[in-house]
Amino acid sequence: MTSLRDAGVRFGARWIFRNLDLSVPVGRSLAILGPNGRGKTTLLRSLLGFQQLTEGRREAPAVIGYVPQYAGHEVGYSVRQVVATGRVARRGLFAQPTARDMEAADEALDRVGMRGFGDNRFDRLSGGERQLVLLARAIATGASTLVLDEPASALDLRNQDRFLSVIESLRADGEHAILFTTHLPQHAAMAADDALLMFGPDDRMLGPVEETVTEDAIARLYGIPVRIVDCDLPGAMRPARGVIPLFGQAGSQP
């Protein structure tokens, strides 16, 4: 279980969020949505333990698998080496990878469909491939909680689908608590059980995706009208939900 209780963070006189209660048990996934400046990253850092709470408390496992927003170059490292570094949290910063660490790296790469890239240099991969490798690194930690900071924000549509499909498969397996931030309601509709919409420091909506990712709520959150279309697709794990922003219509919003 990863949770915040009566939690708040303040920078100077400005509260980023406060009086926040949320919990994500193993087997559930949570998407955190909000415009720039609403505190998504601060909230994520608080969950990770990187940001000290001004009030309240945090409960989290000792090891969390983390996928940052942008992939660094990791110059000269092979994909397997990058993924194996995920084991460091369990064995110490200067420990050398063991045979079991490399085996765990290969298993994680299998999970994200990147096993065939194991010997490739990480810095020569595409952006989408790098994000999948960093997800494999998070999985290789063996952590029950995975935290992802806008993991697909810089990816093209095909790579967004590829990445989110892996997240959806992890969600469906029920072996992880998954938390991710995103600007795109579509991502929440595809890969999350629950969503947190951050309207302001004390103003938020938290609940099942079906109840929170609605036309009215998303229009209020981002200040533009949207339309939501549900589609039943052959072979899909669950009905697909399309969230369509109506660009150029913001002036029509009340």
Q: How far apart are CA 173 and CA 151, in angstroms?
A: 20
Look at residue 92 and tell me if it is in a domain: yes
Look at residue 228 and tell me if it is in a domain: no
Look at residue 194 and tell me if it is in a domain: yes
The pLDDT value recorded for residue 235 is 67
* Closest to 4 in 3D by CA, of 74, 68, 56, 42: 56
How do 55-59 and 2-11 pair as beta strands? antiparallel
The chain-wide mean pLDDT, for the chain, equals: 89
At 189-202, the pLDDT tens digits run 889 999 999 999 99
Say which CATH number the domain at 112 has.
Answer: 3.40.50.300
How do 240-245 and 226-231 pair as beta strands? antiparallel
Looking at the DSSP assignment, which residues form a beta bridge with residue 30? 179, 194
Cβ-contact 117, 36 below 8 angstroms: no
Look at residue 125 and tell me if it is in a domain: yes
Q: Starting at the edge strand that comes first in sequence, how are the strands of the sheet with 14-24 ordered?
A: 14-24, 2-11, 55-59
Which residue segment(s) compose the domain that 31 sits in?
2-208
Look at residue 230 and tell me if it is in a domain: no
Q: How far apart are CA 105 and CA 118, in angstroms?
A: 9
Look at residue 19 and tell me if it is in a domain: yes
Look at residue 250 and tell me if it is in a domain: no
Residue 96 clears pLDDT 80, i.e. is over it: no
Look at residue 220 and tell me if it is in a domain: no
Number of domains in the chain: 1
